[in-house]
Structure 1
Amino acid sequence: MPLRKTAKGLLSAAALSLALMLPAGPAAAEAGFQRWVASFRSVAADNGISGSTYDRAFRGVTSADPEVLEKARFQPEFTAPVWDYFDNRVHDQSIAVGREMARKWKPWLDRIEAKYGVDRYILLAIWSMESNYGEILKNDKVMRNVVRSLATLAYGDQRRAKFARTQLIAALKILQRGDIDESHLVGSWAGAMGHTQFIPTSYQAYAVDADGNGKRDIWNSVPDALATAANLLKKNGWQAGKTWGYEVVLPAGQKFPTGSLTLDKWASLGIERANGKAFKRGSDVATLKVPDGRGGPAFLMTKNFSVIKRYNNADKYALAVGLLADEIAGYGGLVQDWKRPFTKLSFEEKQELQKRLSAHGYYDGKSDGKIGEGSRSAIKAFQAQLGLTPDGHPSMEVLKFLRRN
């Protein structure tokens, strides 16, 4: 999410944060955190936060959250193959639930689409990507007190201290405005909030009261959350009535220029749409991307792809949103699939795989159909036990072995 301008006085709090870093021992750590909270009160006051708001926000927050610091310090870089990212996000269940949500929220989606010009299926795909259509908000193990999380990062994480202080001031302003009370101001370990996971500064910049109840409630109001996402995209240049991009077929052995060209120019170089149809609006500018190399699917990305990246500045994220949106809308999936060295499982088959691994004692996580490190480690252990190559792939081959054993 894009950051907004830095709150007054936060730079001077940097030295304070460093001076009060976590001391050794639980009691000392709690005392150090409490001193930091007391000292930060003046920074909050300089930024317009009343004493009563500050007291409400920190009521019951007596210590830093150790799990937040653990997540902040141990974030493994994503190194899995490209197909793994998309298989965990664009799948049978996310598509089916997206279509159900499209029907359920159609009247609101009609209004939001008419007002902001943002395609409803893009909004549904973002909702899926950010919170699994709100299901993540029901998970107490994931959702945390935003004030405590951000204060923890501001106090105990040197790399994120400046970001966390800025976000903490913004969160306190949200409380002070009255959009949500302190008991419901919850979010991820890094402070992302609501159905569409906005950090506090982005919430301040884009939050919308779509349902007209006087509050911009992205935690409990789906219309507010979807309209807020639409507002972000519109204000960052979303082009109404246009797509995010096209899957294309590249002529074999031909090199292509980097940078942006019109769709007509790309077509003149021999690039065609994978579905055989003509490009719409040949004067639109697009950029060629091949996230899985020349042997995988290729895409021409238009302006709206870049706008989606203002939500999350990663090509894979924006592409997953676009592909999922197209599937929910019924346009169909990829013509050229990702390069996998195994036979792909459906979402239900992945759940079966996890259940069978659990029954055999290899896996103790949820059978949620999402293949993470726990699932891959379990698959590797099972493969090693059978004398197979322990590649950890969630394949039909592994599932067939499990069914036989």
Structure 2
Amino acid sequence: MRKFGMILIRLITVFCLPFFLINSAISAPSKAETEAQFRAWLARDLWPEAKAKGISRASFDSAFSGVKLNWKLPDLVAPGTKPTTPREQVQAEFGSPGKYFNEKTIGHVTAGGKARAAQHARTLAAIEKQYGVPGEILVAIWGRESGFGAVKIPHNAFEVLGTKAFMATRKDMFRAELLAALEIVQHGYIDAASMKSSWAGALGQPQFMPTSYIKHAVDFDGDGRRDIWNSEPDALASIANYLRLYGWQRGRDWGFEVNVPAGLSCALEGPDQGLKIADWAKMGVTRINGKPFPANELAGEGYLLMPAGRHGPAFIATPNFYVLKNYNMSDLYALFVGHAGDRIARGSGGFSQRWGDVGGMYRSDIAAMQKALQAKGYDVGKPDGLPGFKTRRSIGDWQAKQGQAATCFPEKALIGAIR
């Protein structure tokens, strides 16, 4: 009987294997077949929509002349396959936020920013007068995004955006960006062959996505073109216009490094828990440099910001900090720009408080911690393994309820403790 069973299994395997191979071939076409599907998609799907938006056939053909799928780009899902969670999202190590502020990098932006601030002083003053954004903030973003225009941006924008619009996990978003890129070419702001982008499709010295270019880019040098690729006045003014349209408050700073009294809870952090800066001062929060908060800031709203909890510097941020965050959707990015801007304008040094050597956990560890807190009713935001302010303050609240000193930051000792 056992011998008969083994024979039956072999027969099933022999007859079924071709069907598995056929199904696999159908569900996962070759790269050559996918390229053919891409060309068909351009012709039958994208072109009709582009035409309806006023894109000429000549502009469309110029944009996609010689363009092929770029299989080296991240976050792709080939037709016939299913998206998978990237390995790095669960196994990447989450380190100290202090690592973001590598002194070599921030020193380069600071030194380069001082030189450019002097070189473009008249232009920056004119831009600040019109848009209200200080020059040091503009050159800090410029330096961070493209090394003051020196960083090589090698990719064909239509190759990147076309690939991602056809087979990225966020196809709809990239389709909108691709159509905006075609609009840029149609209006003659730049020719298709010269439109280079990052691997994510960001353009020019400010690294705008095409839809952002359409909304925010300006012609500041008066030559009739919004040239964020080659014109430094246009690039800088476009950054300023972006920040203005996102709500930059003229005359206000981005924030201040502060001392937070030991008795004041770090769980007060967050843009949804703002107080007048005068009220923070009454609670014992003081500037790290010993100076009082500027008189013009006292009546304005401020927010406690502690990116590493009690393991690093603390700040009172203004609404302008969150305008900076819109540029890259990262607290650390906004803090980098604000801090570099201070060093460019005032010659100040690094942070007064030291960043602690915290971290060393996998994002999956932090995500498990977030889910455990969420199950207890805490609002941690999205349990994605990245400890934003909602996660940090939830940890602080949980620690306080357990009679522990609140640190407001994920630590290895908490992995098994929060259940």
Partner of 1:401: none
Deviations 1:66-122 (A, max 9, x none): 112468985945723201112167532221111111122222112111111101011
In the other structure, the counterpart of 1:295 is 311
Contact 1:71-1:189 at 8 Å conserved across structures:
no
- Does 1:227 pair with 2:237? yes
Equivalent residue number for residue 118 of structure 1: 133
Structure 2 residue corresponding to 1:330, chosen from 341, 346, 363: 346
Residue of structure 1 aligned with 2:118, choices 81, 98, 103 = 103
Matched-pair contact (CA < 8 Å) for 1:90–1:323: no
Contact 1:244 1:302 in 2 (8 A): yes
Map of 1:142-291 to 2, 5 A cutoff? 142-157=153-168, 159-255=169-265, 257-258=268-269, 259-280=273-294, 281-291=297-307
Q: How far does the alpha carbon of each residue in 1:121-163 deviate from its partner, in whole angstroms, 9 at most, with x for none?
A: 1101111111121122x3xxx5211111111011111x21000
**Aligned equivalent of 1:9:** none
Q: In structure 2, give the amino acid aligned to 1:103.
A: A
Distance 1:190 1:116, change over 3 A: same
* Maintained 8 Å contact 1:239/1:303: yes
Match of 1:67 in 2: 72
Rounded to whole Å, the distance in 2 between the matches of 1:313 and 1:76 is 20
Contact 1:262 1:285 in 2 (8 A): yes
Q: Matches of 2:87 and 2:188 in 1, distance apart?
A: 34
Percent of pairs with identical residues: 41
TM-score (norm 2): 0.71
Contact 2:243 2:323 in 1 (8 A): yes
For 1:147, the aligned partner's letter is: F
Where does structure 1 lack aligned partners over 5 or more consecutive residues? Answer: 1-20, 342-405
Q: 1:320 aligns with which of 317, 333, 336?
A: 336
For the residue of structure 2 that corresponds to 1:248, the secondary structure is strand
Task: Quote the Cα distance in structure 1 between the aligned partners of 2:223 and 2:27.
Answer: 42
Q: Distance in 2 between matches of 1:253 and 1:151?
A: 54
Partner of 2:59: 53
Aligned residue number for residue 37 of structure 2: 32
Aligned mate of 2:107, from 81, 86, 92: 92
| Counterpart residue identity of residue 31, structure 2 | P
The one-letter amino acid of 2:281's match is A
Structure 1 residues 338 and 69, CA gap change in structure 2 (3 angstroms): closer
Aligned-pair CA distance for 1:293? 1.6
Whole-angstrom CA distance in 1 between matches of 2:73 and 2:202:
13
Q: Is the 8 A contact 2:303 2:318 kept in 1?
A: yes
Q: Determine the structure 1 residue equivalent to 2:95.
A: 80
SS, match of residue 327 in structure 1: helix
* Partner deviation per Cα, 1:221-253 (whole Å, 9 max, x = no partner): 111111000001111211112100010001123
* C-alpha separation in 2, matches of 1:189 and 1:113: 31
Change in CA separation of 1:216 and 1:331 when aligned onto 2, cut-off 3 Å: same
Structure 2: distance between partners of 1:208 and 1:286: 31
* SS of corresponding position for 1:66: coil
Relative to structure 1, is the Cα distance of residues 75 and 123 closer, same or farther in structure 2, using a 3 angstrom cutoff? Answer: farther
Counterpart residue identity of residue 69, structure 2: A
Q: Give the conservation status (yes or no) of the 8 Å contact 1:69–1:152.
A: no
Name the CA shift for 1:203/1:89 in 2 (closer, same or farther; >3 Å): farther
Q: In structure 2, do the counterparts of structure 1 residues 230 and 71 end up closer, same or farther at CA, with 3 Å as the change threshold?
A: farther
CA distance in 2, matches of 1:287, 1:71: 38
> In structure 2, how many angstroms separate the alpha carbons of the residues matched to 1:31 and 1:146?
20
Q: CA separation in 1, counterparts of 2:325 and 2:105? A: 17
Matched, 1:304 2:320: yes
The equivalent residue for 2:371 is none
* Alignment: residue pair count: 315
Q: RMSD over aligned Cα, in angstroms?
A: 2.1
Q: What CA distance in whole angstroms lies between the structure 2 residues aligned with 1:236 and 1:242?
A: 15
Q: Contact 2:321 / 2:334 at 8 angstroms: preserved in 1?
A: yes
For 1:339, the equivalent position in structure 2 comes to 356
Contact 1:186 1:193 in 2 (8 A): yes
Instruction: Please say if residues 96 and 355 of structure 2, whose CA atoms lie closer than 8 Å, have aligned partners that are also in contact.
Output: no
AA matched with 1:143:
P
Give distance in 2, aligned partners of 1:88 and 1:133: 18
SS at match of 2:72: helix
1:181-214 CA-partner distances (Å, limit 9, x unpaired): 1111111112110101000101100110111111
- Matched-pair contact (CA < 8 Å) for 2:140–2:340: yes
Residues 44-53 or 202-211, more deviating? 44-53
Say if 1:22 and 1:47 are closer, same or farther in 2 by CA, change over 3 A. Answer: farther
Gaps of 5+ in 2: 1-25, 78-83, 359-419
Contact persistence 2:69–2:163 (CA under 8 A): yes
| Higher alpha-carbon Rg | 2
